Amino acid sequence: MTLPRLRVPEAQAADPLSTFVPRPTALWLEIGFGGGEHAQALAEAHSDAGLIACEVFENGLCSLLSRLVPEGAEATAPLPANLRIWDQDARLLLRALPAACLDRVFLMFPDPWPKARHVKRRFVHPAQTALLARALKPGGVWRVASDDPTYQAWVAEVMAAQDLFEVTAAATARPEGWPPTRYESKAQRAGRMPLYWTFVRSSIASSPSPA
């Protein structure tokens, strides 16, 4: 009963700020929130920003919702005013959002889809990059983190070949203001080194149409 109270109605995707009361001053999007700890930390630390957290897998949804409300109070417990959930494919939301509406986007430790035949499923992909760029404001920030060497190399290759975002070198330590995630901790315990990118949306003049 908690999810319907937080879900972004499809009819409101074209005016996403209207789903928040009070109306926030900025709109953020997290794609694939996993266990939800990163989304929860963002919402708690930035009450002025409305965060839409996307996740299609039931385990991740249950993980976040169980931390937001105590068992037995799913229908009545107060919920974060600045947090909403999209439980469908994030690409559907990105196509429905108005252009240049997002201030920040987060992609934390996505599935690397390591096999060559699965490359098109990676969110960092020329098609998705253009879709995301359309929804980000000029100067908007896209944060990406990964501990997988194949995915790290892929991110560097894809982002070097586009002109929709300004590209800087990845950081090898989590930058200040980035909440930790359990995926990051797991990677570090296994001896894998995460990389952290901050991509800045360039001029809106090159903004593509939604696919």
Q: Could you list the active site residues?
A: 111
- Measured CA to CA in angstroms, residue 147 lies from 44, 70, 73, 186, 200 at distances of 25, 33, 37, 10, 21
Q: From CA 193, how far away is CA 199, in angstroms rounded?
A: 20
CA distance 210 to 179: 30
Residue 16: count of CB within 10 angstroms of its CB? 23
**Burial class for 83, CB neighbours closer than 10 Å (0-12, 13-18, 19+):** buried
For residues 83 and 55, the answer to whether their CB atoms sit within 8 Å is: no
**Distance, CA of 185 to CA of 34 (rounded, Å):** 14
- Give Cα 99 distance to the centre of its chain: 17
Q: Quote the CA–CA distance of 180 and 120 in Å, as a whole number.
A: 27
| Alpha carbons 31 and 122: distance in angstroms, whole number | 12
